[in-house]
Amino acid sequence: MRALKKKKSKRPAPSAIERVAGIFERYTVAGIAGSAALLGLIAIVLWAGGYFGLMGRAIDRAANETAIAAGLEIRRVLLRGAHQTAHEEVLDALGPVVGASLLHLSLDEARARIENLGWVRSAAVTRLYPDTISVSIREREPAAVWQIDGDLHLIDAEGAIIREVGAYEYSNLPLIVGAGAQEAASGILSALARETEIGKRAYALIRVGGRRWNMRLRNNVDVKLPERAYVEAIADLGILQEAQGLLDQEIEYIDLRDPERMVIRKRGEAAPTPARAMGGDPANG
């Protein structure tokens, strides 16, 4: 038997219409690709020339004007909680907002600028529709005066600088001096706030060697505090003052650096007097 060979079917030649359509299809795809490249090039030129920025500002200006025309124009600024902070300082920090659109004020940016003011611990800025900005601030509480390079700065209990002060301002607050004193002040100021009798007697807090404190009282008694357990030492001093009136006596210094023994030297004495046991040389840092 003969094997039958399957005849290979021939594809019919494209008609003239199909050939013309193919040509148009190729040129159309090429045209689209070229147009995309051209648009991309135009976008790059516009971006480099700052046209997009100009357009964005124009749109923003138009939106601002629309909001003002709709009655959302800032006409008032209400301020609460400002006792030490000057109102002019807050307005300067806000910027020229009166007359601007209520919707276009960035509340976060305005709050951050106000919190940069020395007296301001925290701030809240809110919109009161249709025409008011409300600013509420919480102010810092002065805790000490920090001396550095001959200048005096008022600080709060965390060591944050409030403002520069004169030599006779806030003389009721302790003076803090020494390298690293501002950064380390929060701990000892908190301890003195708890022991109010000791706190009101503290005249100066001197940072020694960047590691511990000496405390000068207003009656010129020097108290040498330990490096680590100074909170407990101040509490012990408060107990002794309440029980014995220790700080009202004629004392030159009290050395609390050793947690096991306290050394007290009275004025005019040649040698220290032990309170619990004799200590070493109190003059050592």
Q: Is the pLDDT reported for residue 28 higher than 80?
A: no
Q: Is residue 110 within 8 Å of 139, Cβ to Cβ?
A: no
Its sign, for the CA torsion 156, 158, 160, 166, is: positive
User: How much of the chain, in percent, has pLDDT values that exceed 70?
Assistant: 69
Any idea where the domains of the chain sit in the sequence?
71-139, 142-274
Q: CB under 8 Å to 203, separation ≥6 — which residues?
A: 174, 175, 216, 217, 218
Tell me: the pLDDT tens digits for 211-246? 999 999 999 999 999 999 999 999 999 999 999 999
Q: What contacts 24+ positions apart, CB below 8 Å, involve 107-114? A: 110/135, 114/90
Range 71-139: architecture per CATH: Roll (3.10)
Q: Over the chain, what is the mean pLDDT?
A: 81
Tell me: the pLDDT tens digits for 271-284? 655 554 434 443 34
Q: Is residue 36 within 8 Å of 44, Cβ to Cβ?
A: no
Same fold, 71-139 and 142-274: no
Q: Is the pLDDT reported for residue 116 higher than 60?
A: yes
CATH of 142-274, one of 3.90.550.10, 3.40.50.720, 3.40.50.11690, 3.90.1200.10: 3.40.50.11690
pLDDT band at 47 (very low <50, low <70, confident <90, very high): low
pLDDT band at 102 (very low <50, low <70, confident <90, very high): confident
pLDDT band at 108 (very low <50, low <70, confident <90, very high): very high
Tell me: the pLDDT tens digits for 140-164? 999 999 999 989 999 999 999 999 9
> Chain centroid to CA 101: how far?
28
- Tokens standing for 149? 């390079």
Q: Is the pLDDT reported for residue 58 higher than 60?
A: no
Query: 173 vs 70, which has greater pLDDT?
Result: 173
**pLDDT in the model for residue 24:** 46
User: How much of the chain, in percent, has pLDDT values that exceed 90?
Assistant: 59
Cα–Cα distances (Å) from 173 to 108, 154, 179, in that order, read 34, 9, 19
